[in-house]
Amino acid sequence: MSDYGEQNEDPCRGGGGTSAERTFAFVLLFIVFFGCGGLAMISDSYVVRVLAAALAYTACVMIYGFARNKNGVPRYLFTCPVVVSQYPRLAKRHAAFLVAETAFLAIALRYLPLPPVGASRAEDGNDLLAAIPLGVLALVEIFMNRGVLERAHNDRFGEPSEPDDSESTLSILGRDQ
């Protein structure tokens, strides 16, 4: 089942601890996410808003694409050989999503009205109108990236997505041989 040798233990999912490097990387990503997101919302410069939003979007996708989630979704280590082999594919996909994100944001900033003189951006609410579709776009990319990483792990290590899924599927189809 494996094209990469006879290694049966997944280095990404082995070991339960968190390293200092991984913690530092995630703290840095959270700082970039919240800092650039805040800058995108308060800046008056069109270019700064678009660039800060792109950086915040990238940090968000990296945080939630590689972190462990409550629904039993496993974490992915940045240095895992399976993940590293998928970096070119993930980078191309992210570039396409960034183009979509930037195009949407450019159109939204062009056509959403500016707050009245004297009112703050926080009271305006138009940033929320632009943030909701960008959040949906980020979720789509995160789910797609996690699917790529899961398929890559399954191809290399032969892990089924659900441990008992094959038996229940065969019995439902009437193939209980």
DSSP helix/strand/coil, 68? coil
Q: Which of 21-30, 37-46, 118-127 comes out lowest in average pLDDT?
A: 118-127
Structural domain that includes position 60:
20-160
User: What does the pLDDT look like over 102-132, one tens digit per residue?
Assistant: 998 888 877 776 666 655 555 556 677 778 8
pLDDT given for residue 59 in this prediction: 93
Domain total in the chain: 1
Instruction: For residues 30 and 5, give the distance between their C-alpha atoms in angstroms, rounded to a whole number.
Output: 36
pLDDT given for residue 35 in this prediction: 93
Helices assigned H by DSSP within the chain: 20-42, 46-66, 81-111, 121-124, 126-157, 165-172
Q: Residue 84, exposed/middle/buried by CB under 10 A (0-12, 13-18, 19+)?
A: exposed
Q: Is residue 13 part of a domain?
A: no
Q: Is residue 42 part of a domain?
A: yes
User: What does the pLDDT look like over 43-100, one tens digit per residue?
Assistant: 777 788 889 999 999 999 998 888 877 777 677 788 888 888 888 999 999 999 999 9
Q: Is residue 46 part of a domain?
A: yes
